[in-house]
Amino acid sequence: MKCFPDRLDSTLARGLAPVYVVAGPELLLVEESCDAIRRAAREAQIVERVVLEADGRFQWNELNSAGESLSLFATRRLIEVRLPTGKPGREGGAALRDWVQAERDDVLLLKCQAWDFKSEKAAWFTALDKQGVFVPCWTIKPHQMSQWIERRLAARGLKAERSACRFLADRLEGNLLAAAQEVERLALLHKRDTTLDVDTLRAAVADSARFDAFRLTELVLTGQAGAAVRCIRGLRESDTPMPMVVFALARELQVIQALHAVTPTMSMSQALTRFNVWKTRQAAVSQAASRMRPALVRQALGGLSDLDIQSKSNDKAAFWLGLERLCVALAVNDPERLAA
């Protein structure tokens, strides 16, 4: 049964299914959906959780072993299989089909960070879908963003004019994590049943300079050069403290530099866990680490050091122009732009 993330809570309220498949490219929705299932499991007195990381070295007989082993508390368990690629392969597909055919008491949660429509035709997926719930977490399209924000605000007890939701959607340019964080901030700032208009949102957003600085890093990591430049100009217009922007970018680049250093000897997923990268951001950081050359990252860190010194001078215009050049170079992976 297919159930979209915004209807998952009502589906869970009717009782737990034996199987859940949560998959799609929108990591925020994937994480929130998995959290909702884990919460429902706890409410159903499922206190034990087994997590299996189905990476390239995973042995699928571990899934069967997990199902056959005795529970520590002699109760039902939540068996969570994390399959980043969304493709279990022949052995994994057979193991998943065997799982549902065995009609176990435990609940299976299959979490996939990559997904395509072809996977929905696979025999293993069809077997799981018949027995449980499929939660597709697709990227919110630009024309859907304002409605998503409106529903999100309503869930937090706030109302908003449609023009206000469109304003926020345009400003966040499709960044779902940024939108979710902004909604949470608005919920803290305003009482329930408050109606938000464009002027209210514009005033609230103007105070979120710290958030915008970290949003810039997301645009750079995901290769959105044009959006990064527009974000920088917004930061400049709102008089965002320059050292704050330098810090946000430097922190991310230092993580990427560390990933470059350790990934020859460990998997990317292990490295991301080692350096405490949030799950909702792991895909963006991983892709950036794969896309950016180590030499470019070293050069950019040196450039940020120069910009930090420049931020303490009176030449603000040079700082912002230098920041634009550096961010574009990182977004398009072009070291020559840094040397220009």
Q: What is the DSSP letter of 193?
A: T
Query: What is the pLDDT at residue 132?
Result: 93
Q: Do 58 and 41 reside in the same domain of the chain?
A: yes
Q: Do 46 and 12 reside in the same domain of the chain?
A: yes
Q: Do 70 and 113 reside in the same domain of the chain?
A: yes
End position of a domain, from candidates 154, 179, 207: 207
What string of DSSP letters covers 170-191?
HHHTT-HHHHHHHHHHHHHHS-
Q: Do 123 and 12 reside in the same domain of the chain?
A: yes
> Of the candidates 249, 233, 245, 223, which has an alpha carbon nearest to the alpha carbon of residue 329?
223
Q: Can you give the CATH number for the domain in which 18 is found?
A: 3.40.50.300
Query: Any bridge partners for residue 52, and if so which?
Result: 81
Block residue for tokens 């939660």:
135
Structural domain that includes position 189: 143-207
Distances in Å between the Cα of 161 and the Cα atoms of 50, 194, 203 are 44, 11, 15
Mean pLDDT per segment of 10 residues, for the chain of length 340 residues? 91 94 89 93 89 84 72 73 89 90 87 86 91 92 88 91 88 75 85 88 64 80 89 82 86 91 88 79 87 91 89 84 93 78
Query: What is the pLDDT at residue 210?
Result: 47
Q: Do 31 and 111 reside in the same domain of the chain?
A: yes
Question: Which amino acid makes up residue 105?
Answer: D
Token digits for 322?
């230098």
Instruction: For the chain, list the strands marked E by DSSP.
Output: 19-23, 48-53, 77-83, 107-112, 133-136, 159-160, 195-196
Q: Do 92 and 196 reside in the same domain of the chain?
A: no
Token digits for 331?
């977004």
Query: Any bridge partners for residue 21, and if so which?
Result: 110, 134
Would you call 308 helix, strand, or coil by DSSP? Answer: helix
Q: CB of 245 within 8 A of CB of 213?
A: yes
Query: What is the pLDDT at residue 70?
Result: 55
Residue 29 to residue 6: CA distance in whole angstroms: 9
Block residue for tokens 């609230």:
204
Q: Do 190 and 292 reside in the same domain of the chain?
A: no
What is the domain count for the chain? 3
Query: Any bridge partners for residue 136, and if so which?
Result: 23
